[in-house]
Structure 1
Amino acid sequence: MNLKTLFGTFVLMILCSGAPAMATEHAIPVASQQMVLVLAESENSQTAMLYTFYRDQAHWQSHSGPVPVTLGRTGLAWGIGLHPAQIGVQKREGDGKAPAGVFYLGDAFGAGSELVTGLHYQPMTKEHYCVDVPASPLYNQTLIKTDANAELIDGSTEPMRRDLHLKDSQYNKGIFVGHNPHNQAGAGSCIFMHIWRAADKPTAGCTALDESAIDQLLAWLKADQSPVLVQLTRADYQRLRADWALPLVTVP
């Protein structure tokens, strides 16, 4: 049976045990009780700092951070998620940019049969691919390649078992990010949080962490808390903090 991981909000509702479909006017869903906040110095930054927060009686409380992460090789651009549309550079397929904005965090995935996490877990096989071919009707979906769908997956550069295909460990542990929820062709695909190559090695558009840091994040996150990723430049964080009811972080 094919295992599909769709990035649409509706599918994330299923995968995340009832995550709400609509965001509040502040961009953060009321039901979201955990936040991963990533702040970059500028839209061209290849690195950033990650903080985690939990909601306590409607107020955000600090949990951990800062933790260094790597971003896309060309920085950040506005993605499609829970936040209102923003003026500025918009994320496109192949641009090397990580998405800025607010996004649900979906299932965990990885190479092992099990993973220590409060998220639902999807073990990947050698035949799992995330489709990054804009013309494919399977664009921005993760599924098992079969004889029946091979034509629609051919050309994708995102095998989910990189350890078997590309001989690296980046996807041995990761989290699906709900970017481009309606799979709009060319708007960016296959966005994850995953293990970094190194502290000075950017990604193709994901957010990457040291393996020990992603282990801690995976163990802390819980599917029934409807966790979100908020990823912004420091300037946009300052501009949007009050409107989006974001937690206070001291920004030097």
Structure 2
Amino acid sequence: MQTGGANGSVRAGVAVAACGVLLMSLSACGGSGADGGAEGDGASGGKAGRAEARTVDLKRIPGVGDRLQEKIPAGSRQVVAVYGENKDSADSTVVLYTKHGSTWDRTRTWNGHNGKKGWTTDHHEGDKRSPVGVFTLSDAGGVLADPGARLPYTRSASFQAPHYWAESHWHDFDYVIAIDYNRVKGTSPSDPTRPEGQSKGGSIWLHMDHGSGTSACVSLSKSGMRYLLRTLDPDQHPVVVMGDKADLKA
């Protein structure tokens, strides 16, 4: 079943067909490790998002150097910034910035996780590192009903993580937002198509957190995901700026 976002449009086209196809797509977000635990892009409870006091005169996204700052589209008025603790850490902080006039306001902050081995500027399938960069946010979906998403939302039980994964990962994909890394925009997040080739990796999402590192995705709390789904607006051209703090500043 597919549903539209808050604008009431009905999503046609890519149904999340068979679990076999979906598992190919989810491989970047999770899987069973040798120890029997999931290696998925995770979902912990995390801390609830914190409302921030309005910050005046932020002319640019804090902690982001010219190289990545210049890749933020001029028309973007919503930026999800993911600040990794360091290159080899799975811990990160997720911040939503909203532009009013010519300045950015720090709107919400959540604790989160990224790839279990940290970050890379040259992500490839299976490296367990999240890609550094600026990526658009175009499509969403999940196991649960549309919570009032503004992005086009695809609901399907086929998003359900396999139950041979650790139980802590079963709800990872209740809500997801596709990060537009090596994917086709305008399709369900579960669409396995990778225009730049399978080896470059893909199926990298924002999704619910299970309290530890992921295979490449970024995870945050359920309340954080619900907030982002209800807030990120295609008309505001939302993007994610993500990486370890050193690479973000470079």
TM range (shorter): 0.5 to 0.7
Q: What amino acid maps onto 1:28 in structure 2?
A: I
The code of the aligned residue for 1:196 comes to D
- What SS does structure 1 have at the residue aligned with 2:96? strand
Mapped pair 1:188 → 2:232: no
2:74 paired residue among 12, 20, 30: 30
2:120 matched to which residue of 1? 77
Structure 2 equivalent of residue 3 of structure 1: 14
Once residues 2 and 221 of structure 1 are traced to their aligned partners in structure 2, the CA distance between those partners, rounded to angstroms, is 22
Alignment of structure 1 residues 61-210 onto 2, 5 Å: 61-65=105-109, 67-78=110-121, 90-126=122-158, 160-162=159-161, 166=165, 168-181=170-183, 182-198=195-211, 201-210=212-221
In the TM superposition, residue 31 of structure 1 has moved relative to its aligned partner by 1.8
Unaligned runs of 5+ residues in structure 2 are 1-11, 17-24, 26-67, 184-194
Contact 1:36 1:228 in 2 (8 A): yes
Q: 2:232 aligns with which of 205, 221, 229?
A: 221
Any conservation in 1 of the 2:75–2:237 contact (CA below 8 Å)? yes
- Counterparts of 1:187 and 1:121 in 2: how far apart (Å)? 25
Whether contact under 8 Å (2:147, 2:226) holds in the other structure is no
Number of aligned positions between the proteins: 175
Does the 8 Å CA contact 2:115/2:129 hold for their aligned counterparts? yes
CA contact (8 A) 2:145 2:155 kept: yes
| One-letter identity of the residue aligned with 2:224 | A
Higher alpha-carbon deviation: 106-115 or 171-180: 106-115
Mapped to 1, the partners of 2:91 and 2:235 lie a distance apart of 30
> After superposition, what is the alpha-carbon deviation per residue over 1:181-238, rounded to whole angstroms, capped at 9, x for unaligned?
433331111100101112xx11111001111121122222112211000002212222
Identity percentage of aligned residues: 25
CA distance in 2, matches of 1:25, 1:202: 26
Length-normalised TM-score, structure 1: 0.63
Q: Is the 8 A contact 1:163 1:171 kept in 2?
A: no
Distance 1:50 1:3, change over 3 A: same
In structure 1, the gaps of 5 or more residues are: 8-23, 79-89, 127-159, 240-252
TM normalised by structure 2 equals 0.64
**Contact in 2 for aligned 1:175/1:193 (Cα 8 Å):** yes
Cα distance in 1 for partners of 2:13, 2:105 equals 40
Answer whether contact 1:115 1:121 (CA < 8 A) is retained.
Answer: no
| Contact 2:132–2:247 (Cα < 8 Å) also in 1 | no
> 2: CA distance between counterparts of 1:186 and 1:50?
27
Shift of 1:119: 1.4
Q: Where does structure 1 differ by over 4 angstroms across 4 or more consecutive aligned residues?
A: 163-167
Q: Displacement, 1:57?
A: 2.2
What SS does the corresponding residue of 1:74 show, helix, strand or coil? coil
1:32 deviates by 1.2
